[in-house]
Structures are given as C-alpha cells and as structure tokens.
Structure 1
Amino acid sequence: MEAIYNAHYPAIHQYAARRTGSPDDTADVISETFLTAWRRIADVPEGDAARLWLYGVARRVLANQRRGQSRRSGLAERLKDDLAAARPSQPAGIDRVREAFDELPARDREVLALAFWEDLTGPEIGKVLGCTATAARIRLHRARKRLAEALGLTEEDQAIAELRGERL
C-alpha cells in the first residue's frame, strides 16, 4: 500500500485540488481515496492502472462530498427558516441596546453578559473571571454605568429604573 501511495499521491492530490474549493476538502478527498484503496487493496490493479483506479475512487469521493454539502446546505436553510419563524419578537429599542452593548469594551461586555445572560451573582462572576467577588461587583457596576451612558440615560433615568427593580 505504501508503494501505491508514494507512486500516486501527487497525481491524486492534483486531481482533488483542481476539483475542490479548499485545502481541507482536498485533504478529505485524498485521505478518503487512499483509505478506500487500503480497505480494498485486493481490488487495486497493478502498475499504472492503479492510478486510473484511484482516479475513479477519488471521483466517487468527490461526488459523495458534493452530495453531503448539498444536504447540509439544505438542512441549514431549513433550520435557519425554522429558527427565524420561532424567534420571539424583539422588544422595541432592542437594536439600540445591542448597538450600545457592542460598542462597549470586551471586558464590560463579558461582565454584563455573565450577569444578565447567564444570571450569575457577583461572587459567581468573580469565580469565572478569576477575581474577588468585590472586584466583580465593581466591574459590573462600572460596566452598567458605561452601558447607561452609551444608551444616553441620565442618572435620574438610572435611579428610576432601580426604584422599579429593573436591572441596568
């Protein structure tokens, strides 16, 4: 098998490279082709006929690869449509909040995400970030303040939100 591989690898590599869109796809075709040859070593002809046999195997591997990509693309489209249909409607102003959030430094986004998306407490955030609970609460307080500023909220707006029990 090693002799077949050494003799025909360059030809199979070029065959696959000319027919695939990425080095990863090329590598997949080559490996699957030689794996098939190894499994069916008794069917591999002698001499130059082996190269032609390997081309045939590579051709079928490429066809399988294309069919798989087509199935995955179709599935991804259906999944995207299903998720879009199931997505709850966005509350008014969510785009503004998302833009403000995205403009924050990564450190602020992380601490806010841990607090609101993951619903972690100060001590839990501290464990995740590798700092004390006090440091986590300070980071969270500062990040909230920067988010409020990015949203254009005044201190009065923030105080009213806190009185209502809303977390910002």
Structure 2
Amino acid sequence: MTRGWRGGPQTWEAHLLARIAGGDAGALTQLHERYSGPLFVFLYRLSGDRGTAEEILQDTLLAVWRSAATYRSRSSVSTWLFGVARRQAHNRLRGAPPPTAAEPSDGADLRAGPEELALGGDRVRRALVRLPLPQREVVVLAFLGDLSHQEIAEVLDIPVGTVKSRLHHARATLRGCLDERMA
C-alpha cells in the first residue's frame, strides 16, 4: 500500500481504480503488481496455454485502463477484476479449441499450489481441463482464486445457487476423472 495511506486495502484499491480512471499509469502498475499473479493463474487455468493467458492478461489490463471509471464499489475490486478478466477470456476463447493438459514448454513457474499438491497436482490439472468451461471457472475461482460463493456469483454474473450446483457437478466429474486414473 501507499505510504501514509489511511483506510483498508479495499479503500486503497478503489482509490487506485479512481486514479486509473483519471489516467494515472502508475496506479495501473500498482494494480498490476498486486493482481497479475492471481489473474494469470486464473486465465491460464481457463485457457490451458501460457501465451494465451499472458495475452488475455494484457487485454484485461487494457480493459481496466479503459473502464476503471465504471467501478461502482458494489463488489470488491478483486471481484470486479476477475470479472473483467473472465469477459476478456471469453472474448478470446470463443470458438477456440478446448485447452490441453500440456505444461508450458518454456519452464514457466506454474507449479501446483498447495491445494493441487494435496490432491495430486498433475492429475488434478489434467482432470480440470476435462471440465466444461462453466464448471472449470467455478472450480478455479473457488479453489485457486479462494473466492467465496457470493464473490464467484458476482464475477460470473450468476446466482449463488448456480455456483453451488456447478461446484457440485464439477466435484463429481473430477472425482470420476481421478478415480479413473487411480484404477
């Protein structure tokens, strides 16, 4: 956070968006430094390709630059950012072939996080790409993005009940995929 800033992180982040809306490129850099990691992981898990995820992240930052003035504090800044990233991903991935389970060839540091390691890392990643995109989005936001059901509903613009339903079906599918691989 900025030195001397008084207020919580949410207030600080909303202040950053207001500065971005006013044309402050330094504020965009600060927002990028704080959120590029989680947004990249989200986009990588949706697209299955490092290069595509990087391009969508750049599209997301451009969209934030252009639309920061539309942020109205109805949701957290992080929820708003994930929503922007999701829309950019859908724009880019519409009609694209589904992702593969291949790891990036350039040695990217996309190692499994603690949740994936606890559940079998590589097996989980391969199972994730088999999920339909709506289920994959919910799983990635819930388990890798650590968003609540309410925040996921806001990002995806769907009811909380739909989030729960998609999570339920995704868990069943993942369980089946992982059980197949164990047999």
**Given the two structures, how large is their TM-score scaled by the length of structure 2?**
0.34
Report which of the two structures shows the higher radius of gyration computed on alpha carbons: 1
Higher helix share: 1
- The structure with higher relative contact order (CA 8 Å, sep 6+) is 2
**Given the two structures, how large is their TM-score scaled by the length of structure 1?**
0.37
